[in-house]
Amino acid sequence: MLGLRYAVDMNGKLIAAARTLLGWSQDQLAEKAEVSRRTVISLETDKGDPKRSTEKKVVDTLKAQGIEFTEMPDKIGVAIRRDAE
């Protein structure tokens, strides 16, 4: 993820925010990422211990739709590219 140490820094709130920026439901993200809705819920609520490959699959799906995760010294964030709208 663009240098993000997402195993440490990525959290469910960023995934939920990215999904919201796209106007997607949890079901839509699950379908597009080819994972279960339960997996999306687990990722967004930081519950359980999803495989890194599963998290990457969800994040890659979001990034393919124009989502960008950014890292600064004191924070990380999520945005959507204007050309992706």
Taking only the tens place, the pLDDT of each residue in 21-30 is 999 999 999 9
Kindly tell me the burial class for residue 49, based on how many C-beta atoms sit within 10 Å of its own C-beta (0-12, 13-18, 19 or more): exposed
DSSP string covering the chain: -TT--TTTS--HHHHHHHHHHHT--HHHHHHHHTS-HHHHHHHHTT-S---HHHHHHHHHHHHHTTEEEEEETTEEEEEE-GGG-
Taking only the tens place, the pLDDT of each residue in 39-85 is 999 999 988 777 888 989 999 999 999 999 888 888 888 999 877 65
Domains in the chain: ranges and CATH:
12-84 (1.10.260.40)
pTM for this model (two decimals): 0.81
